[in-house]
Amino acid sequence: MNTTQSESFQGFYAQQLGGLQAEAIRLKMLNQRLAEIAGFDVSELDLGLGMGGIERDARLLTSEELDKGIASLSEAFAIQQETMAALQDYLLTNDSIVTAIPTGRPVKEGWISSFYGTRVDPFNGKRVFHDGLDFAGKEGSEVLSAADGIVAWAGMRGGYGGMVEIDHGNGYVTRYAHNKTLKVKAGNRVKKGEVIALMGSTGRSTGPHVHYEILKDGKPVNPYNYADAE
């Protein structure tokens, strides 16, 4: 094998190694999510992939380094597969945990009109942080609970307008704002997919939509990561 062929061969396997490493990281993140859903302390789980990333051009790695990287990834995959199987078994036998985690979208009909993150405020034109997802649709469209829980608030609340807040336990809370009509009251127990309100444009709103928030341990998280979970 000449030098050019050797470099091409090594470059190919370095590229494959990089792809495997990215997949291993993705699996680790998925396992972390499953562990959080199950209520486990992620720091106490062995999720593998305790190695660092490639610090230089992967094409410059030696054969020994490539072999070591592949062996390390094989070990990480084995650990992750074992962990995932255990978590899935646990969740399948604890359905109540799964149904109390916000997943899917809070509307049957509608589209995302504004994402989580920094955006231009539609009222003053300034850049502000938007801590939820906006689902636009027809006024009067049904708004659904994203998980089982207990209604902690149902009423008008400042810029949120007509809002429903649901406590799902395990640190999860969801909010559904700008509703025209509220179908639940504080203290009601609701099921995932239950109609809790009708879409409107109350409060600080430019048109019919539901502003949807998820809080984990009191801090807002990106609902898109959960809305796309089904």
Q: Domain residues of the chain, as ranges? A: 3-93, 102-227
Helix (H) or strand (E) holding 105: none
Rounded alpha-carbon distances, angstroms, from residue 229 to 28, 46, 71, 105, 169: 16, 24, 31, 9, 19
Distance CA 154, CA 130 (A): 22
Looking at domain 102-227, which CATH architecture does it have?
A: Distorted Sandwich (2.70)
Distance CA 226, CA 224 (A): 5
**Extended beta strands in the chain, E state:** 111-114, 117-120, 127-130, 133-136, 142-144, 149-156, 162-169, 172-179, 181-182, 189-190, 195-198, 209-216, 219-221
Looking at residue 124, its amino acid is: N
pLDDT in tens, the chain (230 residues): 555 555 566 666 667 777 777 777 777 777 777 777 666 666 655 555 444 444 445 555 677 777 777 777 777 777 777 777 777 776 666 666 668 889 999 999 999 999 999 999 888 889 999 999 999 999 999 999 999 989 999 999 999 999 999 998 888 999 999 999 999 999 998 999 999 999 999 999 999 999 999 999 999 999 999 876 44
